[in-house]
Structure 1
Amino acid sequence: MLLTISTTARPATDLGFLLHKHPDKVQRFGQSFGEATVFYPEAGEQRCTAALLLDIDPVALARSRGKGSPDFSLSQYVNDRPYAASSLLAVALADVFRTARAGRCASRQELADTPLPLEIRLPALPCRGGPELAERLFAPLGWRVEAQPVLLDEGFPEWGESRYVRLALSGTVRLADALNHLYVLLPVLDDGKHYWIASDEIDKLIRAGGGWLRDHPERTMITRRYLGRRWAMARTALARLAELGDEPEERLAPAVSEEAAAEETAADEAAAAEAEAHAEAAEPETAEAEAAASEGAGVGKRKSLNLQRRIAVLETLEELGATSVIDLGCGQGELVGALLARPRFARVAGMDVSSMALTIAARKLKLDRMPDSKRDRLTLFQGALTYTDKRLSGYDAAVLMEVVEHVDPPRLAALEQVVFGHARPGHVLVTTPNIEYNVRYDFLTGLRHPDHRFEWTRAEFEAWAARVAGRYGYRVSVKPVGEPDPDLGPPTQMGVFVRD
């Protein structure tokens, strides 16, 4: 990861005083996940540039993640963290430029208090929301923003844009403010952190953003994302921000739909369960991360969409008369547990690509203490939906609940062949988000989850379902899940496939 900070304030080498890093030296700072190096590619009277280079050691990163890390098992070694600016860079920046972030400079305090012409560049920045979001976050702080989207592959431009941007900021800003803007907004743009978010993150946010966040037009979204979409923590942070000025707290609170509020409640419940799981195991991929899709928040009285979806699947399975069910992409076992609670389902299986998710599922299901009568009904195993596997066959029904949207579109054909062509259960239930409904989630930018490869409109889902049904000898009907919007349809759609 690379971050450069340049100034043309003369003498430009005064940047070294402010950063407390001499332009003639290369300085290295050990981090638990690698090494940060500060050096100056140019240091003249008219222009000076300081560079922070963060070299990530993926093995050290995996070993240093403690009980609270949100990264799931596959991302321990294979991910974008060594290359793209994220919370890792924010943590290194906070450590290496600690005094500069505080706005202190014993020898040149008047310089530290003075806005300077600055240029900041980040060649690879994850930005869930695209260049427009970068503009919305940095422009109100006085920055001129140039955010260029990065193609997935320059050799294949038809593949479209990635979730990364090349970011260049320029403006006349106090250096301490510039560093604090980056410290807060880098993980906000990435929409994730590499460590578990505890209550002390509120204090960090207030310290870094107290001087500018209260008046930012996107303060609610910034607060929510920085705190990992934990609404209880976000409310506390927003209240504390309100106390910093005269603005009433109610004006800082977001207005949201009850549906969005219910989704947030589910997200907080999932977070609590995941935190408990960290006592014995590292964090797996969240099975129902969609519950955090909305940037709005509150405490709703309706059932969460997560729960409504599970109930709809269970009721449909009972209507179909299924007695043996396999949950494909079972995650941490929420649906598997609900199936086991109903004796009519004599055989229940859960398959997931993540071994760590299956470990957490076994723990949540209390597999080691499960009565033999129930344990004999259950099978958990690791597998991938894009490869034929004889263990997938022999069930009355298969469920893919919020799974297909995590598969790259070119690989959907393989999934279709495996499930509908090879396993060929009597019934297949597929649920997936309705992208048209996303506008009902306040502040949501992009898709509902950063791992979603796509999301379908109602027409696109119906067309896909009809094509698959026709090709593999099934009949299909599409049912709404969640309260439908009269114009946008339901938040989730479910295809019910019945083999001819």
Structure 2
Amino acid sequence: MQLTIRASGRDVQVLSYLLAKNPNHLYERQVNNHFVRMFFSKFSKEEVEVTFFVTPDPIELSRNNSERYEITSYINDREFVVSSIFCTFLRSALATALNGKPHEEYEHWVNHRFNLQFSFGPLSSQLSDNDIIDLFAPMGYKTTISAGEIDYHMNFKTKSSARYITVEGLTTLQMGLRQLFVLIPVLDNYKHYYIDDKEIEKLERYGEGWLDVHPQREFILRQALRFKDLYSLVEKQTEKGSNNQDNNDEIRTMRLNDLRYEKIIDSIRQIPFKDSIVDFGSGEGKLSVQLGFIEGVKEILAVEPSESASIKALKRYEKMARKENFLMPEQIIGSLFYFDERLKNKDIVILCEVIEHIDKHRLPKIMKTILNDYKPKVVMITTPNQEYNKVYKMNEEYRHPDHRFEWTRDEFREWCEIQNGKNDYELTFDGIGEEHELYGTPTQMCLFMRKEQ
């Protein structure tokens, strides 16, 4: 993954100060097992060329393939193409230029327009070449698109499906980079992190001075925010003003992830037996940390196969450790696919937005382990309601590229009943999020309650 910035004309050497990078030094940093490198290939009075590379660590990816990615089990092209992941890794390297905060003596150059050319790729996008050109043209860019040549040993094809994009125009370095950081995830139509109100704040910051007047503003917002609720809120924010506290409160209350956690927490509070809880696929600990404040809970086991996510979770727990009445979750590096004696006979097992990341043919074995071997008193499962995707007006088949399936309400109900083949559990179905008259709620939930309880 690479981004090359070229500039021509007078005073272009100032770019090194705007980037806060020494043209005589090789910049190299490691971010989440990826290497970010930068070097100047040209640096003269009238021409500057600097390239940023992001390269995955293949040894780390290979070493962790069987364990780290077991539940969310994938290594896909997101690691190797220009996407939101690429922008995340580059953000620290380009922070000075993005924020427009060079040394004081060069601050007046932040608003100086240069003849700039930005080249980036490879890009994996469903948009046509013309669609991509139409996104950059309103900002005054000339766009060139090329496909990478492939040297196969077998005669498959001569060109890659990935494309390389070059946009060229008269602009400031800060404006050009901010536009790229908004549009690259739009082109790729994928974000590897949860999209929440912080995304709106980032769009406002990076989109200042160009996004509001862009003829495809609505398309950009839909692609950047992905879901209708947040898209509607950013429209309201434009009308009310971005600093309106009431609107910010509204954003927070409408976050689907928060609603899931709230529903799970409320349900657990109503269950009389909740001494021990297992949070499968606990990720970075966002749910587990909230479980730690439920009165009556004596043990929380946060099970996650990813070591990096587990480290982030531990940091999250440590921040809460001093708060009153907080129970520190116990982090377990583990997987649904392997039996763990420590997880037997617990009160509650939670699978929050986990099953849809697993191939359907592997689910029966997992459920057999949970229901027949672990034998918890309660199992709580949440998963997307496929019918509700019509409300989001999605072009994609699934809400997330890593989802292996998404079920309708009837399909989910039927699957849960099949898993309960021994009839040991009473099943209760519920919904989470704003309910649509025809399509139900965005998230569906099933509560398995052991009959002996």
Q: Which TM-score tier does this pair reach, normalised by the shorter chain?
A: 0.5 to 0.7
- The CA distance in 2 between the partners of 1:143 and 1:191, in whole Å, is 26
Q: CA deviation at 1:351?
A: 3.3
Q: Name the SS for the 2:446 alignment partner.
A: strand
Q: 1:420 to 1:236 in 2, by over 3 A?
A: closer
The within-5 A match list for 1:4-23 is none
Q: Which residue of 2 aligns with 1:404?
A: 355
The superposition leaves residues 397-433 of structure 1 with CA deviations (integer Å, 9 ceiling, x where unpaired) of 4222233234455653553343234313243221122
Q: Are 1:213 and 2:211 matched, yes or no? A: yes
Count, aligned residues: 377
Counterpart among 438, 444, 448 of residue 493 in structure 1: 444
> 8 Å contact 1:358–1:382 — kept in the other structure?
no
2: CA distance between counterparts of 1:370 and 1:221? 46
Q: Distance in 2 between matches of 1:55 and 1:30?
A: 12
Paired letter, 1:400: L
In structure 1, the partner of 2:366 is 415
1:484 is matched with which residue?
Answer: 435
RMSD of aligned Cα (Å):
5.8
**Residue of structure 1 equivalent to 2:27:** 30
Do the aligned residues in 2 keep the contact of 1:119 with 1:168 (CA within 8 Å)? no
Amino acid at match of 1:310: I
Partner of 2:68: none
Q: Find the counterpart in structure 2 of residue 307 from structure 1.
A: 262
Tell me the SS of whatever aligns to 1:428. Answer: strand
Q: Structure 2: which amino acid aligns with 1:425?
A: P
d(CA) in 1 for partners of 2:137, 2:415: 41
**Any idea what SS the aligned residue of 1:385 has?**
coil
Partner SS, residue 214 of structure 1: coil
C-alpha distance in 1 between matches for 2:281 and 2:407? 19
* Shift in CA distance, 39/340, structure 1 to aligned 2, threshold 3 Å: closer
Letter in 1 for 2:257: E
Does 2:288 correspond to 1:290? no
Whole-angstrom distance in 2 between the partners of 1:426 and 1:191: 36
Report the AA paired with residue 294 of structure 2.
A
Question: Counterpart amino acid of 1:123?
Answer: P
Gaps of 5+ in 1: 7-13, 41-47, 60-73, 106-111, 149-154, 156-163, 240-248, 268-288, 292-303
SS across alignment from 2:407 = coil
Counterpart secondary structure, 1:470: coil
Give deviations 1:44-71, integer Å, cap 9, x for gaps: xxxx997835155869xxxxxxxxxxxx
2:294 corresponds, among 341, 347, 369, to 341
Q: The residue matched to 1:384 in structure 2 has which SS?
A: coil
- Is the contact between residue 26 and residue 37 of structure 2 (CA under 8 Å) also seen in structure 1? yes
Contact 2:389 2:442 (C-alpha < 8 Å) held by counterparts = yes
Cα deviation digits, residues 364-423 of structure 1 (max 9, x gap): 66379769xx88xx8654422221101111124422223323445565355334323431
With normalisation by structure 2, the TM-score equals 0.59
**3-state DSSP class of the match of 1:485?**
coil
Partner Cα distance (1:410, 1:432) in 2? 17
Question: Is 1:468 aligned to 2:419, yes or no?
Answer: yes
8 Å Cα contact 1:223-1:238 kept in structure 2: no
| Distance in 2 between residues matched to 1:466 and 1:147, nearest whole Å | 51
Match of 1:250 among 239, 261, 264: 239
C-alpha distance in 2, partners of 1:392/1:198? 36
The C-alpha deviation readout for 1:219-247, integer Å capped at 9, x for no partner, is 47867998999x99x999998xxxxxxxx
- Counterparts of 2:275 and 2:134 in 1: how far apart (Å)? 52
Q: Which amino acid aligns with 1:487?
A: L
Aligned equivalent of 1:62: none
> Which residue is 1:2 aligned to?
2
Shift of 1:211: 4.4
Q: 1:440 to 1:335 in 2, by over 3 A?
A: farther
**107, 127, 130: which is aligned to 1:131?**
127
CA separation in 2, counterparts of 1:368 and 1:104? 50
* Corresponding residue number in structure 2 for 1:327: 279
Q: Distance in 1 between matches of 2:265 and 2:179?
A: 41
TM-score (norm 1): 0.54
Structure 1 residues 432-490: Cα deviation after superposition (integer angstroms, max 9, x where no partner): 22233245458997755676554333233223323322389656443223442111112
Structure 1 pair 101–122 and aligned structure 2 pair: CA distance change class (3 A): farther
Conserved? CA contact 2:426–2:448, under 8 Å: yes
Task: Tell me, yes or no, if the aligned pair for 1:393 and 1:425 is still in contact at 8 Å.
Answer: yes
Q: Distance in 2 between matches of 1:226 and 1:147?
A: 24
Equivalence map 1:40-59=2 (5 Å): 52-56=51-55
For 1:264, the equivalent position in structure 2 comes to: 252
CA deviations on 1:40-98 (whole Å, 9 max, x unpaired) are: 8xxxxxxx997835155869xxxxxxxxxxxxxx99xx997874322234665787999
- Decide whether aligned partners of structure 1 residues 89 and 347 sit closer, same or farther in structure 2, where only a CA change above 3 A counts: closer
Report the equivalent of 1:64.
none
Secondary structure of the residue aligned to 2:420 is: helix
Q: 2:380 aligns to what SS in structure 1? A: strand
Q: Is the 8 A contact 2:56 2:80 kept in 1?
A: no
